[in-house]
Amino acid sequence: MKKVLLLAIIATAFGMTSCKKDYTCTCTTTVYDTDVTPNTILTGPITTSTTIEDKKSDATTACEKETATVTDAVIGIKSVTTCELK
């Protein structure tokens, strides 16, 4: 009975811990000229990758937070960055 209880405790401890793994966050950035229609690509797409060591759900959240669109009307450019976990 003691062995069964010990094994149950060990199994529960392993089940409650999440394994951290290395995930790759890949981002693609493209810069557009917004002064012309349709918008012309000035640079890109430029792809970068970052390694995130975490649980998959947390790594996905961290990676997706890097997705952004920034527009500067004064100089007429728009930078679009999209990120996904791979």
Q: What is the pLDDT of residues 27-86, one digit of tens each?
A: 999 999 988 878 888 888 999 999 999 999 999 999 999 999 999 988 899 999 999 998
The side-by-side arrangement of strands in the sheet containing 40-54 is 40-54, 21-33, 77-85, 68-72
Question: Are the C-beta atoms of 77 and 69 separated by less than 8 Å?
Answer: no
Helices (runs of H) and strands (runs of E) counted in the chain? 2, 4
- Determine, yes or no, domain membership for 79: yes
**Which neighbouring-strand residues pair with 30?**
80
Q: Which domain holds residue 26?
A: 20-85
- Determine, yes or no, domain membership for 9: no
- Determine, yes or no, domain membership for 58: yes
At 10 the pLDDT is 62
Q: Helices marked H in 17-55 — which ranges?
A: none
Number of domains in the chain: 1
At 80 the pLDDT is 95
- Determine, yes or no, domain membership for 52: yes
